[in-house]
Amino acid sequence: MSRTACSGGETDLPAASTSRLGPAAAAADRSRRPSRLPGWWYVVVPTAIVLVGAWLYRWVDEDAFVNFRIIGNLVAGNGLVYNLGERVEAGSDPLWLFSLTALHEVLPFVALEWLSVVLGLCCTGAGFLAGGRAVQRLGHSRHETAVFPLGLLVVSVVAGVWEFATSGLEMSMVFLWLGVCFLALVRVEGRRSRAVPAAVVMGLGTLIRPELALGSVVFLAALLVVVAAPGWSPAGGRLRRCILPLGGALAVPLAYQLFRMCYFALLVPSTGLAKAAASSWWTQGFTYLWNFASPYALWLPLLLAVPFVALRVSDWWSRGDRIGVVVLVTPIVVGAADVLYVVHLGGDYMHARLLLPGFFALCLPIFVTVRQASTALALPLAAIVVWAVVCAGWMRFVPPTTSSLDPQAVFISNERNSWITATGHAHPVTAADYRGALSGKAGELLDRLSHRVPHGKQVLLVVTNPFAPLDALGTEPARSALPFTLAVNVPAIGVIGYLAGPDVYIFDAFSLANPIGSHTTVTRHARPGHEKYIGPAWMVARFGVGGRPPASGDPSAGSVANARSALACDPLRSYLGAITAPMGVSQAISNLGDSFRFTTMSFSANPTLAAAQLCGAPSSHRPAAAR
């Protein structure tokens, strides 16, 4: 095989992969192909199944309300923030957030929660259609007719997929992105043109979910292999053909990265720091993988599908169609890389969620033709169809019963079922549906309390038992330049924050929206995504002024004093100043330069240890805390 690197002159590929039909021959070839309508019907089957399942399982996850609160602040002119006056990137899906914001601006009379459901359905359906058309175009270009996207059928019948297609989270956009990337790669390979638009789409992965950067790299590598092949239109040097797509792929992510550094003063989202996205927990990762595969017996259809892909790869390779093989296996490499990263990370506390991108990508290039169905492959094909019927009808994940109320307890939940139980609604979608849950009641109470605070005053509410009703009498005076009336520490920030309203500062105990807690170090493994717990001493130290004796369970005076000392030392002091100072050109430039050291800053969640790490001096020589 000839070299396909982006350098040097043109080289020839085998005729099987590079020949192009003349106009007359192409017309004759098209006349021999089946009409497009039956082909579309093959794609519609898995698309219809997943959309029906997604609608039957419609709901909005509690975490989605984090974005809803950010969107509310954004459209009100308060900036891309979770808490007013504090620039913390509490979401890791900016493209989904901006898309939902735009839809909300166009349709302000439709509830934001329902807009997220509809957008999720649209993205999921479009992702399945794009993925199905991709394998059909790839098969038709190799003279394979009646192509059925068997892999998408496998994905469409899994209840875990249905749950996150309308959850208000970004997973539906992940399906869309993967399907469109694969379709774009197939179209570029078939047309030998228009690589730059395809590369732009492929580069957007990290703006949907940070770990999709791995998928972007793999898709772009495959695109460059295609771009380096001869037969390009218009003709040009390989180096130039490679540079332009790379520039297109990097343009939008780099622009947003520059904005992130200038606005949030960090290199990564706060959520990436809070979830310790660079950490490793293989054992829990494999537990999470089996937790997804086992309830649906996913190992069965995936093993049965291997011959469909392996025989096709062998056939194309033997005919010299190396580029076709590269295009076919690209989603498999994308999926394997994503699954490997999730397993390395330790997975998630939500059943299936983080493995869905890898699962979708792994199944994308699995397809069957009428010719294959008439061979020995009819047996595994029939087995997959039987499995699909059983899976859609009966296979579900039922988590074991747990009596632990510890938010850091390690377990994997069926999040949808949990919130159905908590809210009493079969389809909890709106904030009104969540009002019956403990978090909904707490959010409404905080909203009422914030409006009772006298004008010009600020108060703290220290929560010592997150599972008990809030004690409205447990407030104390507060002082801060941030524009809140009430600050409270809570272990969940979605529904509570959304219902509490913008006047309430939510001190996130698990650090997703917490500029202090996100930089603490993990001392022991806990519930995935909830390993960085930060106590209320930090909130009292930052905003409190005293005024009442500590109640039972309140942070001790010593821990508050040490936390106040740590807050007064660099780089923590400078970081908090950078994200709360008025935004201007000089502040943006300063944040840009400081984002490197702010991102790498880390210290203990224990105030005593943090004070020693950040200040390195006895408490009597530490400066007074700045607020």
Calpha distance 616→610 (Å, rounded): 9
Residue type at 469? P
Q: What is the pLDDT of residues 453-474, one digit of tens each?
A: 999 899 999 987 766 666 666 7
Calpha distance 558→364 (Å, rounded): 57
What mean pLDDT comes out for the span 336-362?
A: 96
- Using the predicted structure, report yes or no on whether residue 546 has a pLDDT greater than 80: no
| The pLDDT value given to residue 143 | 87
Calpha distance 279→545 (Å, rounded): 37
Residue type at 84? L
Calpha distance 81→69 (Å, rounded): 9
| C-beta neighbour count of 175 within 10 angstroms | 29
- Using the predicted structure, report yes or no on whether residue 26 has a pLDDT greater than 60: no
Q: What is the pLDDT of residues 216-234, one digit of tens each?
A: 999 999 999 999 887 776 5
- Using the predicted structure, report yes or no on whether residue 446 has a pLDDT greater than 50: yes
- CB-CB contact of 182 with 205 (8 Å): no
Calpha distance 125→145 (Å, rounded): 23
By C-alpha distance, which of 181, 117, 137 is closest to 43?
Answer: 137
- CB-CB contact of 599 with 267 (8 Å): yes
Which letter does DSSP use for residue 60 in this model? Answer: -
- Using the predicted structure, report yes or no on whether residue 28 has a pLDDT greater than 80: no
> Quick one: 357 exposed, middle or buried, by C-beta within 10 A (0-12, 13-18, 19+)?
buried
DSSP code per residue over 372-421: HHTSTTHHHHHHHHHHHHHHHHH----PPP-----TT----B-HHHHHHH
What mean pLDDT comes out for the span 559-577?
A: 96
Range scoring the smallest mean pLDDT among 19-28, 178-187, 189-198, 507-516:
19-28
Calpha distance 106→323 (Å, rounded): 43
What mean pLDDT comes out for the span 591-603?
A: 96
- Using the predicted structure, report yes or no on whether residue 408 has a pLDDT greater than 60: yes
- Using the predicted structure, report yes or no on whether residue 565 has a pLDDT greater than 80: yes
List, in sequence order, every residue forming a beta bridge with 475; answer none if it has no partner. 461
> % helix / strand / coil in the chain, to the nearest 5?
60, 5, 35
What mean pLDDT comes out for the span 539-566?
A: 83
Cα–Cα separations (whole angstroms), residue 593 to 86, 169, 265, 266: 19, 32, 8, 10
**Radius of gyration of the chain measured on its C-alpha atoms:** 27
| The pLDDT value given to residue 473 | 61
CA atoms within 13 A on the CB side of 323: 32
Give me the count of residues in the chain.
627
Which letter does DSSP use for residue 487 in this model? Answer: E
Greater model confidence, 556 or 591: 591
- Using the predicted structure, report yes or no on whether residue 21 has a pLDDT greater than 90: no
Greater model confidence, 540 or 555: 540
Which residue ranges make up each domain of the chain? 35-394, 435-621
Helix (H, G, I), strand (E, B), or coil: what is residue 520?
strand
Calpha distance 595→268 (Å, rounded): 9
Cα of first residue to Cα of last residue in the chain, in angstroms, is 66
Calpha distance 485→193 (Å, rounded): 58
Tokens of 39: 């082909």
Calpha distance 504→159 (Å, rounded): 37
Helix (H, G, I), strand (E, B), or coil: what is residue 43?
helix
| The pLDDT value given to residue 623 | 47
Percent of the chain with pLDDT over 90: 75
DSSP code per residue over 9-52: S--PPPHHHH----HHHHHHHHHHSPPHHHHHHHHHHHHHHHHH
What mean pLDDT comes out for the span 352-374?
A: 95
pLDDT band at residue 17, thresholds of 50, 70 and 90? very low
What mean pLDDT comes out for the span 10-20?
A: 38
What mean pLDDT comes out for the span 371-384?
A: 94
Greater model confidence, 10 or 60: 60
Helix (H, G, I), strand (E, B), or coil: what is residue 541?
helix
> Quick one: 213 exposed, middle or buried, by C-beta within 10 A (0-12, 13-18, 19+)?
middle
| The pLDDT value given to residue 236 | 60
| The pLDDT value given to residue 551 | 61
By C-alpha distance, which of 260, 347, 356, 321 is closest to 527?
Answer: 347
What mean pLDDT comes out for the span 106-123?
A: 97
Q: What is the pLDDT of residues 148-165, one digit of tens each?
A: 999 999 999 999 999 999
- Using the predicted structure, report yes or no on whether residue 608 has a pLDDT greater than 70: yes
pLDDT band at residue 545, thresholds of 50, 70 and 90? confident
- Using the predicted structure, report yes or no on whether residue 7 has a pLDDT greater than 50: no
What mean pLDDT comes out for the span 203-212?
A: 96
Range scoring the smallest mean pLDDT among 8-22, 235-249, 462-476, 494-508:
8-22
CB within 8 Å of 451: residues ≥ 6 apart: 485, 503
pLDDT band at residue 24, thresholds of 50, 70 and 90? very low
- Using the predicted structure, report yes or no on whether residue 33 has a pLDDT greater than 70: no
| The pLDDT value given to residue 465 | 72
| The pLDDT value given to residue 229 | 83
| The pLDDT value given to residue 621 | 44
| The pLDDT value given to residue 233 | 60
DSSP code per residue over 182-205: HHHHHHHHHHS--HHHHHHHHTTG
In the predicted model, what is the mean pLDDT of the chain? Answer: 89
- Using the predicted structure, report yes or no on whether residue 397 has a pLDDT greater than 50: yes
| The pLDDT value given to residue 466 | 67
**Backbone φ, ψ for residue 339 (5° rounding):** -65, -40
Helix (H, G, I), strand (E, B), or coil: what is residue 176?
helix
| The pLDDT value given to residue 512 | 92
List, in sequence order, every residue forming a beta bridge with 505; answer none if it has no partner. 487
Give pTM, 2 decimals: 0.91
- Using the predicted structure, report yes or no on whether residue 596 has a pLDDT greater than 50: yes
| The pLDDT value given to residue 402 | 63
DSSP code per residue over 314-352: HHHHHTT-HHHHHHHHHHHHHHHHHHHHHHHHT--SBSS
- Using the predicted structure, report yes or no on whether residue 350 has a pLDDT greater than 70: yes
| C-beta neighbour count of 469 within 10 angstroms | 10
| The pLDDT value given to residue 405 | 55
| Beta strand segments in 123-191, E | none
Calpha distance 181→130 (Å, rounded): 9
- Using the predicted structure, report yes or no on whether residue 502 has a pLDDT greater than 70: yes
- CB-CB contact of 266 with 260 (8 Å): yes
Tokens of 399: 């988590």
Q: Is residue 533 within a helix (H) or strand (E), and if so which, with residue range?
A: none
For helices 64-75 and 94-106, angle between their N-to-C axes, nearest 10 degrees? 60
| The pLDDT value given to residue 234 | 59
Cα–Cα separations (whole angstroms), residue 460 to 213, 510, 549, 554, 591: 40, 18, 14, 12, 29
Calpha distance 141→137 (Å, rounded): 6
Calpha distance 156→218 (Å, rounded): 24
